Amino acid sequence: MKIIDRIKKGQEEGRPLFSFEYFSPKTAQGMVNLHDRIERMCYLGPEFIDITWGAGGSRPAATLEVVSNAQKVYGVETCMHLICTNNPTDKIDKALNEARACGNQNILALRGDPPHGQSEWTACEGGLNYAEDLVRYIRKTHGDYFGIGVAGYPEKHPESATMEDDLKYLKAKVDAGADFIVTQLFFDVPMFLDWVKQCRAIGINCPIIPGVMPIQAYASFKKNIVGVSVPQWILDGVEPIKNDDQAIRAFGVEVGIKMTQELIQGGVCGIHYYTFNLERSTRLILEGAGLVSKTDYIKKNMPWRSSFDEKRKEESVRPIFWSNRAKSYISRTDNWDEFPNGRWGDSRSPAYGDLDRYGVYLKYTADEAHQHWGSPSDVTEVCKLFVKYCHGETLTLPWSDQALALESGSIMDRLIELNSLGYLTINSQPAVNGAKSDDKVFGWGPKGGYVYQKAYLEFFVSPETLENLKQRMPKFSNYTYMAINKTGDLYTNTNGSKPNAVTWGVFPGREVVQPTIVELSSFDAWKDEAFALWEQWSKCYQQDSKPREVLSEIGETWYLVNIVNNDYHAKDGIFELFKEDVLAFQAQQAAANGEVDSAEKVHAETRVAVDQIAAKLRDVRVNSVEEVVLPSAEPLRV
């Protein structure tokens, strides 16, 4: 969608918009960190983000990678900077075509700074001279496909002789086909509002979005205000605290809040924040100005962030397994000609990209993995790490690119319990029976609807523990499960040929939507990735080290299990399967503390409770999309 259309919609609804700018990093790890930050900040609800082209046009591939991921994976409207510097028209054509290929519809057309090593700007051979020329070229070669933005300078461009000349150049860019203007940073709000009046007076009538730079550090502030008028109250506030980084950032937030409020009162259509790839200050400014709250719920069309990739515009079904690794799912399905919509269809049809082609990677280097995940020397220490993840003490795991999902927070205590017992959970969702579609935790989809989901657990477990689970499973007729190891040995109590919808929604004037499923062929494809991550993690440690041995052993011998409780009315029902483990653990702890009598009492009371719940579950009608069969005595080979 074009940014100009989003601006018009916001104006019609009477709401100010906000957007973020990021720059493409120079290193691979910097790229990983940026993707994480963009994903988190997308939940603040920016109308769009824009990505710089790189100093002197030095990193176009990095820019295009960020744009592609933002569009496809994070589902946020993206505006790609495009400059004339070192960009002959054949490279401009290539960049525009690649932007279109990933669904990007917005370009910020800029002349750019002088090339490295040059004090004055000159056009490259076969290139364009000015941003006005670039706007005309985009319109000539791509018509109205792209929404085009250009830069405005409230205190004039340094190379312009007068403000009158600068406004004339700005109008020429708009007349050439630009849809909106994003300004250079400033700090004097009354000056900016007066400049807008000057723009309107000469016939510049398109939306003008002011650019605001949060003050992050004294040195960068002084560097960026060269040629910029700064109100005295800001200068007086900065100087006494220039050696206190924390105080500078706090003052910068105060300045940003005040500017944001004054700009909104002045009638701007939106505000563009120069984040410098940092999150905290921008978030605090938005909260302080009342544009978002600490508990704001960002509406989703689906349980995941919908992709803006043109090929995926009809996609409405995904397997649940990649919930915490969306980028991997997008990559492995990028070559599909069609994406599931409505219902999954033939479960044998999906052909996931080979891991050798798309790669299995960790978020961290080996040193960073040690820092974040330590050096577990036995299974108990691995369990403790997973518990720390559930507590929020570590924010990622190899199978989870982000912190524990908000909805899983409602079952956090149970997850901690399971991980303490050796069930290494990597994905989960609680049962939901008719939450409103605008619910702040579980909601998704159009207004006026209701959403449902079955309780789901996915975890790694030892072969011995799996045997105990298999023995228990017939007592819980509402449960379906799949368990598979690295070599493909499969145990299941489903026939495997039909998908099981674990999330669905009912909305006014629409068919029932079933966007999240559990399905065998997809689980088999996910299995390869899930076990490969154990191998990648183990390789972060020395060849003969204990951590490498422990992690390799788990990856080689343990099973990956998913369990669905098909009775979505039973809020905590799925955890009844593990009551015996919890009971045994509590008794063991009590005995270790010399509380034998107490342990026996707990055992008796819990055993009665387990029997009662199991009996109740047997009487409940199964809410499953497929017939349940008895577990196989021998594993199937997938």
Please say whether the dihedral angle defined by the alpha carbons of residues 271, 275, 281 and 284, taken in this order, is positive or negative: positive
Distance between CA atoms of residues 324 and 297, nearest Å: 19
Distance between CA atoms of residues 426 and 521, nearest Å: 19
Closest CA to 262 of 234, 299, 226, 222: 234
Report yes or no: 108 and 272 within 8 Å, Cβ to Cβ.
no
Tell how strand 318-319 and strand 513-518 pair up.
Answer: parallel
Q: Return the residue matching tokens 């003969």.
A: 544
Is 455 in a helix, a strand, or coil? strand
The encoded tokens of residue 523 equal: 């689980």
Cβ count within 10 A of residue 551: 25
CA distances from 346 to 314, 512, 522 (A): 17, 19, 12
Report yes or no: 281 and 214 within 8 Å, Cβ to Cβ.
yes
Distance of CA 493 to the CA centre of its chain: 34
Sheet holding 424-429, edge to edge: 424-429, 455-461, 559-565, 479-485, 489-492, 636-637
Distance between CA atoms of residues 305 and 629, nearest Å: 35
CA distances from 119 to 52, 55, 114 (A): 21, 14, 6
Cβ neighbours of residue 20 closer than 8 Å, sequence gap 6 or more: 41, 46, 49, 50, 272, 273, 275, 282
Is 600 assigned a catalytic role? Answer: no
Tell how strand 489-492 and strand 106-110 pair up.
Answer: unpaired
Tell how strand 147-152 and strand 106-110 pair up.
Answer: parallel
Distance between CA atoms of residues 272 and 210, nearest Å: 6
Tell how strand 432-436 and strand 78-83 pair up.
Answer: unpaired
Report yes or no: 320 and 504 within 8 Å, Cβ to Cβ.
no
Long-range contacts of 544-549 (CB under 8 A, 24+ apart): 545/375, 546/375, 546/377, 546/378, 547/375, 547/376, 547/377
Closest CA to 418 of 280, 574, 302: 574
Q: Which helix (H) or strand (E) holds 3?
A: helix 3-13
Long-range contacts of 239-242 (CB under 8 A, 24+ apart): 242/218
Long-range contacts of 160-168 (CB under 8 A, 24+ apart): 163/198, 167/198, 167/199, 167/202, 167/204, 168/202
| Residue from 12, 13, 21, 393 carrying the catalytic annotation | 21
Residues serving a catalytic function are 21
